[in-house]
């Protein structure tokens, strides 16, 4: 059962590791982005104290966790369309679709490597946070954190699969992916708590899974909230997952069928 996803993982590892410098620059990129927020915090951190009271941390701790988390779950948002496009351009998508491999297996396998890389990135974020910036994670509620992670990954992956449908049908230009990725970051509370935003934008933000996910993860990690205390956020994420997961799979099956009807499966 795992042979096909593992074959994808091995193939992607061999491919990516043949580009040696990629790994190195990735970690350097994480450190420079963290340092940027570290100094922003020094300059403006005090102005955010009121907005961060419920999380019980300073701006730097807040943004470091939300960026690490968003970087991880954001993989689900971009990796399906990215990998699908790569396979289309390489010409390998046709060969993969010729094999008796289910669509859901192909989709899962396409993003597996990015998920592994994101896990490594996340670990690097946490190591920097603990050892370099001395951030305290001792209050973390492990169960709540795992549940929030799982539900957010399902929601984001579903949005990512919907985004991949655009690539399958229109080849280039993915307005859905762009819209979701930009708005999620901007109004979902990744770079600042949403209480900074005007009231109507805060209301709009409630319709994005990331808003609930960021709030839940900050509270689970820094305040140790349990599942009951996070029930509102978890229910919202559950609803997003229950609606988006089947919808995205059905949409992707439909987009493949449409591409087969149009004969455009390998066009790019």
Q: Which positions lie near another protein, rule CB under 8 A?
A: 3-4, 6-8, 10-11, 14-15, 18, 90-92, 94-102, 257, 260-266
Question: Measured from the CB of residue 174, what is the shortest distance to another protein in angstroms?
Answer: 16
Q: Which is nearer to another protein, 15 or 26 (CB)?
A: 15
Question: Measured from the CB of residue 252, what is the shortest distance to another protein in angstroms?
Answer: 15
Q: Which is nearer to another protein, 15 or 136 (CB)?
A: 15
Q: Which is nearer to another protein, 202 or 264 (CB)?
A: 264
Question: Measured from the CB of residue 37, what is the shortest distance to another protein in angstroms?
Answer: 35
Question: Measured from the CB of residue 257, what is the shortest distance to another protein in angstroms?
Answer: 7
Of the candidates 44, 262, 50, the one whose C-alpha atom is nearest the C-alpha of residue 171 is 262
Of the candidates 34, 40, 32, the one whose C-alpha atom is nearest the C-alpha of residue 59 is 40
Question: Measured from the CB of residue 90, what is the shortest distance to another protein in angstroms?
Answer: 7
Q: Which is nearer to another protein, 19 or 131 (CB)?
A: 19
Q: Which is nearer to another protein, 96 or 112 (CB)?
A: 96
Question: Measured from the CB of residue 261, what is the shortest distance to another protein in angstroms?
Answer: 5
Half-sphere exposure in the Cβ direction for 14 (13 Å, CA): 5
Measuring CA to CA, how many Å separate 48 from each of 26, 77, 218, 222, 225?
29, 29, 15, 17, 22
Q: Which is nearer to another protein, 21 or 43 (CB)?
A: 21
Q: Taking the CB of residue 258, how many other CB atoms lie within 10 A of it?
A: 14
């Amino acid at each position: 059962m795992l042979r096909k996803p593992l074959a994808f993982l091995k193939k992607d590892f061999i491919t990516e590791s043949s580009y040696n410098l990629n790994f190195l620059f990735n970690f350097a990129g994480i450190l420079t982005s963290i340092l940027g927020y570290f100094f922003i915090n020094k300059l403006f951190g005090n102005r955010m104290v009121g907005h961060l009271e419920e999380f019980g941390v300073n701006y730097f701790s807040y943004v470091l966790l939300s960026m690490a988390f968003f970087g991880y779950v954001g993989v689900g948002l971009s990796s399906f369309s990215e990998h699908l496009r790569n396979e289309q351009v390489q010409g390998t998508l046709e060969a993969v679709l010729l094999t008796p491999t289910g669509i859901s297996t192909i989709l899962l396998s396409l993003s597996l490597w990015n998920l592994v890389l994101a896990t490594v990135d996340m670990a690097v974020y946490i190591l920097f946070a603990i050892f370099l910036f001395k951030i305290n994670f001792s209050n973390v509620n492990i169960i709540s954190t795992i549940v929030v992670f799982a539900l957010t990954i399902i929601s984001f992956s579903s949005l990512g699969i919907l985004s991949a449908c655009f690539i399958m049908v229109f080849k280039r230009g993915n307005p859905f992916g762009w819209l979701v990725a930009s708005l999620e970051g901007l109004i979902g509370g990744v770079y600042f708590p949403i209480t900074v935003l005007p009231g109507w934008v805060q209301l709009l933000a409630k319709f994005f899974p990331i808003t609930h996910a960021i709030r839940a993860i900050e509270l689970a990690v820094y305040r140790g909230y349990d599942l009951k205390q996070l029930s509102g956020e978890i229910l919202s994420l559950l609803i997003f997952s229950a609606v988006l997961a089947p919808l995205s799979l059905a949409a992707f099956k439909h987009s493949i069928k449409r591409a087969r009807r149009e004969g455009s499966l390998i066009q790019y």
